[in-house]
Structure 1
Amino acid sequence: MTLQTRIPPSSDSIEERVDAVLRRASLEEKIAMMSGRGFFQQFMADGGVWGASPYQAGARCDRLGVPAFYFSDGPRGVARGQSTCFPVSMARGASFDTDLERRIGEVIGIEMRAQGCNLSGAVCINLLRHPAWGRAQETYGEDPYLLGEMGAALSEGIQTHNVAATVKHFAANSVENARFKIDVQMDERALHEVYLPHFRRVIEAGCLTVMSAYNKLNGEYCGENQTLLTDILRREWGFEGFVHSDWVLGVYSPWGAAAGLDVENPEPVHYGDKLRQAVESGAIAASVVDTACKRILTVLFSLQAAQDPLESYAPSLVASPAHCALAREAAVKSAVLLRNEGAALPLPESAVIAVAGRLTDTINTGDGGSSRVRPPYVITPLAGLQEALAEERVWFAGDETDPAAAAASVAGADAVIIVAGYTAEEEGEYIPGDINLGQVSDALPEGVREASEAANTERQGGKPVGGDRGDLGLPEDQVALIKAIAAVHPRVIVVIEAGSAVIVRDWIEDVSAAMQIFYPGMEGGRALADLLTGAENPAGRLPFTVARDAAHYPYFDKNADAITYDLWHGYAKFDREGLEPEFAFGHGLSYTSFNYRALKARADKDGGLSVQVSVTNTGECAGDEVVQLYVSAPGKLAERWRKQLKGFERIHLEPGETRSVFFTVAARDLAFRRNGAWITEPGAYGIHVGGSSAPSALISAQVEL
């Protein structure tokens, strides 16, 4: 199935087409366009495998010739067929590369179209408040500015190919296990300054649709929260697209339509007849239905009428060589070199390598939930190293089942690579099978839960998978393996596969080098070999703060009924409390070195800032640097973050090359929230530019506003 059909050229405007449908459609037909349909039947027919088919997700009226939206996830590629599997979003957040993310968005848009879909759930920008969050891998990091820039780039790329992008989950969705019940409490400042600005950025970049979150916000489920969906999203931000629910348990009453939820997915459980009865009884105004349909149809007709960048979207484009090459580029650009004592990396050209750990030859592209992608192949770390160095120079020394035997097997190796971290069993979407259908059995049609559980039994031996992490460190057997090998070999490199921060204090000083590659996608093994051998220079930067002690993170309870979020998490919390992180936000090493100088900053006429700085590659090899701009507000009218990311740019420099980098910060982005208004405080603003958020990595200036 491919979406090749376009609306024929017409002199009528989109608005006129929408009005014509609304004039002719009955109330039942209008309400039918406000829900998905056929999902449960299709899911059972597909054996409980999420993404095996496109899912109808709103609109469609055959009598009036209205087509449907067909939905597919997800953040690391299209959750259909055998699509290109990119590194997870958190990895791409570590790239700090919006151009790369926009190109990935284009590939997702192309592969969506080639597989019969036109509504993408790929743009996940929920804030990483705590690294235990099970779906951390699906977002870009702990900082609102980074989330907004990366999400906007992905959205723009997807929509280039006339696929509607969905930004999700709106809002405050940062706990997995309790997501169906938890009530997130927060005040106006925390909401508007920390948990919403990235959503506003993506909306203002033109993202056409929004998916509501499962959780409650200040006592009201997000899918029927009028403050979120109408007062903020539409009245304050001016959003004109449509809002649809998360799957199955995303709304609990027809009132969601009046609150601003236009589409209930995947079936009309609470809309459909219940919404019709509410309208006919006068409990909900008929204009609510008309308004929702106008939003849905306007987006649908606009996409259908637009000219495509490509002449056709053939199935052969899915996982094409060019797309797979982009997955490899993304994996290279995402890897973060955390530690490199004694220049342990890159490996010598003639190096003989021992590899250890069960994850060395495990296909490990991320969780098994709605973001799961099934690519045509996956290159594991062992396969990538053997391909790059020849099999005779790379051998498997053993795994965690017998650390002593593995340690004895590394003799004669020039270096030892240990791959450690997590899989879908330790973190990810909390699921009974390949799809999260909720934990309330009576909410599901007969047969659906059985199909889901059957898929789970086949894939994971019946064990539940995913959910929030129970421990922020590596599993004990992996630590034992690292320590055993480090005790007998001087050159040990640990490669971490994980969706967010991993506490490494108990072993990091025992090893020569450490690199986090997250879940690196289908080409991850080749990318890793490129990085370890020096064919590529690592330049990823941490999109989160790595603590030395789990107690330094905010309070987290994966089973909570209610929780309060404040202004403080991540590097803002560490700065405020004077905590020393293991690795700062923005940290990442390189095989070369960079110097910053000539920082200049000035106030603009509109109350914003203009900043420039010069960066020189002072090392002996070419490399990328991520130039980061942080701004400190005066903080006299209200307590503010000690510094906050307000700009970044990834640049490439040859040895000895100098480049000037320019930033602008709008006045609005310097303000804080009070009583429904944004206030820009007068006074001295600190300007800090460098290669990470660590004070030692920054040069500073002041500007008076």
Structure 2
Amino acid sequence: MKYLQIINRMTLEEKASLMSGKDFWQTQDIEHLGIHSIFLADGPHGIRKQAAAADHLGLNPSIPATCFPTAATVANSWNVELGEKVGQYLGEEAAAQKVNVLLGPGINMKRDPLCGRNFEYFSEDPYHAGKMAAGYIRGIQSHGVSACVKHFAVNNQEERRMSIDTIVDERTLREIYLTAFEIAIAEGEPMTVMSSYNQLNGTYTNENLHLMQEILREEWGFEGVVVTDWGGSNDRVAGLIAGNELEMPTTAGETNEDIITAVKSGQIKEEVLDRCVDRLLDLIFTTEEVYKNRNEKSFNVEKHHEAAQQAAEESIVLLKNEDRILPIKKGVKAAIIGDFASEARYQGAGSSIVNPTVRVNTLDSLEQFGIDSIGYEPGFERYGKKSRKKIDKACALAKKADVVLLYIGLDEATEAEGLDRSNMKLPENQIELIHALHETNPNIVAVLSCGSAIEMPWIDKVKGLVHGYLSGQAGAKAILRVLTGEINPSGKLAETYPLRYEDTPAFGSFPGKEVSVEYRESLFIGYRYYDTANVNVLFPFGYGLSYTTFEYSNIQADRDGVTFNITNTGTIAGMEIAQLYVGCRSGNIFRPNKELKGFTKVFLLAGETKTVRILFDDKAFRYFNVKTNRWEIEQADYAIMIGASSADIRLESTLFVEGTDAPLPYDKENIPSMYAGKVRDVTKEEFEYLLGRQVPVPTWDRTRPLGYNDTIAQCQYAKGWLARFAFHLITFAYWFLRKIGKRSTANLIMMSVYHMPFRGIARMTGGIVNMPMLDGLLLMVNGNFFKGMAHFLKERKKLIKAAKLRSLNNEGA
């Protein structure tokens, strides 16, 4: 241990105190030992350090910081170096605001398009997400602060995220849901990892020895700190045993006592606690170094704003360009329509909300880019209310224009942390506007702003479609530069856009509504499913258009990698994203038809040809064998494919690869759906064969008393009348607030109350309510109102008395 001398001077109580936060964002300090508090702040796409009252929901404003494009946006750049540059700017701003740990990037897989937090994640592909995340981490940590890769692991829904049990087989866990973390940790070397809220196969992730010890610590060699998501600690002692050093936020000393009691009783050895303290001290002292010689408490706002614009420019995706309507030519009369033109949707919602340093407005910038605007009309109500008057006024304006620039998308209340989307549709009032405008003026260029995939049954009503995703504080100008041709678009989708939600592989099993969610589709998420099952999609993974064209030629594959040529066959310079896919051709072990195993972004002048080489790495041919419990290589012929997207393979070669002689892990006849890739209707028997055990009951047991990990939503089944009344009151409040247009407030009820497990009341209130008081509440919930009330008040008095005693002792000291 690095800090054994300091640890030997600490009392057991002092060691335990370091394992939980001092307040909402800071760690505990022990000043007489030179141990200072460090600050943790949200910030996957911009620093969110709150100056006043702290919260984890994005309610209170934070210190101004650059709002960069979200991860889902920069993912479309397919540029690891760009991700590293964004990370460098984030790290510089973190250091300027004296933030020690930046809570990001988030790299959970986009298992389903409806996950409410997809805007904050990179991709549906683990290789792509891992590479992009590693770039961010290197950039952030280049300034001496810590990145914190999250949420570890298999956190793919927001509904009931603090208690849902994710049921996934080991091979799928390793190949799909952990590979991005494996790459990020190996290549980015983050100092911190954040555990997720959910359970994994019956155990909370921060208590899961298989995940936290066998894989993270032993197999991957991670030596840094594991911090819980805020309020994400269930059993503090079990978490400590698993190697979860830091619980956030504070519990006002309550869980410290759990640790002290466990050590004194012999439940855990003090050496286990010492190792956790040592790792936390290393984080504290390492991230403090940056401030010893740093006097500057500011950053170059203008320079960082320009960087945010450059990141947005390279991440914008051109999805449609019928009749070459783009770029817009000078002198063309344009009608600007859509609420998002006047008030851009440029970032997500919840814990990642950034208070931007600068705000760029589209309407104020049109003249700068030579766009001859004949006027603006909102066309629709932002939050979905229908208005025929707005549509008529928009159509009247469109009649006078040569082209309509239509700014549409999803609002802030639709994509948010803590809840999932109810569908993949654009709001109906926007769709009605599109149809009305098409009848008036078919020359429509739609500019789309949203952080996740949507259905587009209206796609034939627009000639051009530019997807800005959530492009940050400078996104408005970035989009205008693409529309006018100042920038040649080079982004490509990092997720598939299905024709309709019913086509998605997890349809019917997302989200888990009660106890658990079953990942029956196994490996087949995103393009892996659509491609293998031959399901048509709207836009495939890796798709994106350019104002120029590219030709691929001369593929040569060897054991170390693949070489090929790319030629810019158009008339202007541009960047092309070449994608390497590998497909095993043996059929002995079920696999997707193709999997991404490499990519590169190449800049080419008009007419220029470049030779490109993409090397194979240790992940190019491997699969996880559940019989040997390790990574193996199947001896077989492999298709080596170079594509402009997952569905547009331009070059192909075959390579024979020697294997590791591992036994075959499956009997084909037991899982026919997997070998066919038809995973929409996997039977319980097939899934249990994959799991190697029985599937747990996915529904609530409504006969038993409610406990710590049951949610407020389950109060509908409570024996106590007060609990049932509270449930109906919460449900009514949610309905009423939506009815009167207060959707963000309604969402807050679902996020912070409805789906909150009872233990969250204690874990998220900073010691105002402790676990003994919670026992009283549960007695009331379970039908013992007076006994529960008496217990609650008794424990409340104890808590107040103990707080006063501590205060007197501190004053005496």
Whose radius of gyration is greater, 1 or 2?
2
Q: 1:22 corresponds to which residue? A: 7
- Residue pair 1:623, 1:652 contacting (<8 A) in 2 also: yes
How big is the shift at 1:576? 1.7
Matched residues in 2 for 1:201 and 1:193: separation? 11
Q: 2:91 corresponds to which residue? A: 109
Matched residues in 1 for 2:502 and 2:320: separation? 23
Q: Does 1:204 align with 2:186?
A: yes
Instruction: Give the partner amino acid of 2:443.
Output: R
Matched residues in 1 for 2:374 and 2:115: separation? 36
How big is the shift at 1:403? 1.7
- TM value normalised by structure 1: 0.87
Q: Does 1:167 align with 2:149?
A: yes
Matched residues in 1 for 2:646 and 2:590: separation? 19
Cα distance change, pair 145–416 in 1 and its aligned pair in 2 (3 A): same
Q: 1:45 corresponds to which residue? A: none
Q: Does 1:399 align with 2:353?
A: no
Q: 1:218 corresponds to which residue? A: 201
Task: Name which structure has the greater RCO, CA cutoff 8 Å, separation 6+.
Answer: 1
Q: 2:240 corresponds to which residue? A: 257
Q: 1:123 corresponds to which residue? A: 105
Matched residues in 2 for 1:233 and 1:394: separation? 58
Identify the range of structure 1 (399-408 vs 619-628) with the bigger mean alpha-carbon deviation: 399-408
Cα distance change, pair 575–560 in 1 and its aligned pair in 2 (3 A): farther
Matched residues in 1 for 2:513 and 2:296: separation? 45
Matches within 5 A, 1:548-567: 548-553=499-504, 554-555=506-507, 556-557=510-511, 559-565=513-519, 566-567=522-523
Q: 1:594 corresponds to which residue? A: 550
Q: 2:259 corresponds to which residue? A: 275
Instruction: Give the partner amino acid of 1:32.
Output: S
How big is the shift at 1:255? 1.5
Instruction: Give the partner amino acid of 1:592.
Output: T
**SS state of the match for residue 538, structure 2?**
coil
- Residue pair 1:128, 1:142 contacting (<8 A) in 2 also: yes
Cα distance change, pair 250–651 in 1 and its aligned pair in 2 (3 A): farther
Cα distance change, pair 669–688 in 1 and its aligned pair in 2 (3 A): closer
Q: Does 1:469 align with 2:454?
A: no
Q: 1:10 corresponds to which residue? A: none
- Residue pair 1:188, 1:674 contacting (<8 A) in 2 also: no
How big is the shift at 1:298? 2.2
Q: 1:514 corresponds to which residue? A: 465
| Structure 2 residue corresponding to 1:152, chosen from 119, 127, 134 | 134
How big is the shift at 1:560? 4.3
Q: 2:305 corresponds to which residue? A: 324
- Residue pair 1:213, 1:250 contacting (<8 A) in 2 also: no
Matched residues in 2 for 1:394 and 1:299: separation? 57
User: What do the CA deviations read for 1:147-200 (whole angstroms, capped 9, x no partner)?
Assistant: 000000000000000101111000001101221121110111100010001101
| Structure 2 residue corresponding to 1:680, chosen from 610, 620, 633 | 633
Q: 2:328 corresponds to which residue? A: 347
**SS state of the match for residue 421, structure 2?**
coil
Matches within 5 A, 1:75-86: 75-80=44-49, 81-86=63-68
Q: 1:606 corresponds to which residue? A: none
Matched residues in 1 for 2:151 and 2:219: separation? 19
Q: 1:418 corresponds to which residue? A: 406
Instruction: Give the partner amino acid of 1:247.
Output: W
Cα distance change, pair 560–88 in 1 and its aligned pair in 2 (3 A): farther
Matched residues in 1 for 2:499 and 2:439: separation? 22
Matched residues in 1 for 2:434 and 2:197: separation? 40
Please identify runs of 4+ aligned residues in structure 1 that moved more than 4 A.
Answer: 305-308
How big is the shift at 1:34? 1.3
Q: 1:535 corresponds to which residue? A: 486
| Structure 2 residue corresponding to 1:292, chosen from 265, 270, 276 | 276
- TM value normalised by structure 2: 0.75
How big is the shift at 1:650? 1.1
User: What do the CA deviations read for 1:316-345 (whole angstroms, capped 9, x no partner)?
Assistant: 306x11111010001111111111100010
Instruction: Give the partner amino acid of 2:415.
Output: E
- Residue pair 2:127, 2:180 contacting (<8 A) in 1 also: yes
**SS state of the match for residue 120, structure 1?**
strand
Matched residues in 2 for 1:287 and 1:278: separation? 12
| Structure 1 residue corresponding to 2:36, chosen from 47, 67, 76 | 67
How big is the shift at 1:313? 5.9
- Residue pair 2:586, 2:637 contacting (<8 A) in 1 also: no
Matched residues in 1 for 2:341 and 2:601: separation? 30
User: What do the CA deviations read for 1:43-78 (whole angstroms, capped 9, x no partner)?
Assistant: xxxxxxxxxxxx21x353211001222101121111
- Residue pair 2:317, 2:545 contacting (<8 A) in 1 also: yes
How big is the shift at 1:704? 0.8
Bigger proportion of residues as helix:
2
Identify the range of structure 1 (220-229 vs 324-333) with the bigger mean alpha-carbon deviation: 220-229
Q: C-alpha root-mean-square deviation of aligned residues, in Å?
A: 1.7
Matched residues in 1 for 2:375 and 2:429: separation? 21
**SS state of the match for residue 69, structure 1?**
coil
Q: Does 1:483 align with 2:463?
A: no
Unaligned runs of 5+ in 1: 1-14, 40-54, 431-466, 604-608
- Residue pair 2:641, 2:649 contacting (<8 A) in 1 also: no
Matched residues in 2 for 1:353 and 1:178: separation? 46
Q: 1:181 corresponds to which residue? A: 163
Unaligned runs of 5+ in 2: 50-62, 381-386, 658-813
Q: 1:433 corresponds to which residue? A: none
Cα distance change, pair 95–668 in 1 and its aligned pair in 2 (3 A): closer
Q: 1:361 corresponds to which residue? A: 342
Q: Does 1:617 align with 2:568?
A: yes
Cα distance change, pair 272–635 in 1 and its aligned pair in 2 (3 A): farther
How big is the shift at 1:685? 0.6
How big is the shift at 1:522? 0.4
Matched residues in 2 for 1:398 and 1:31: separation? 57
Cα distance change, pair 650–59 in 1 and its aligned pair in 2 (3 A): farther
**SS state of the match for residue 532, structure 2?**
helix
Task: Report how many aligned residue pairs link the two structures.
Answer: 627
Instruction: Give the partner amino acid of 1:563.
Output: V
Matched residues in 2 for 1:250 and 1:378: separation? 38
- Residue pair 1:629, 1:646 contacting (<8 A) in 2 also: yes
Instruction: Give aligned-pair identity as a percent.
Output: 34
**SS state of the match for residue 22, structure 1?**
helix
Q: 1:408 corresponds to which residue? A: 396
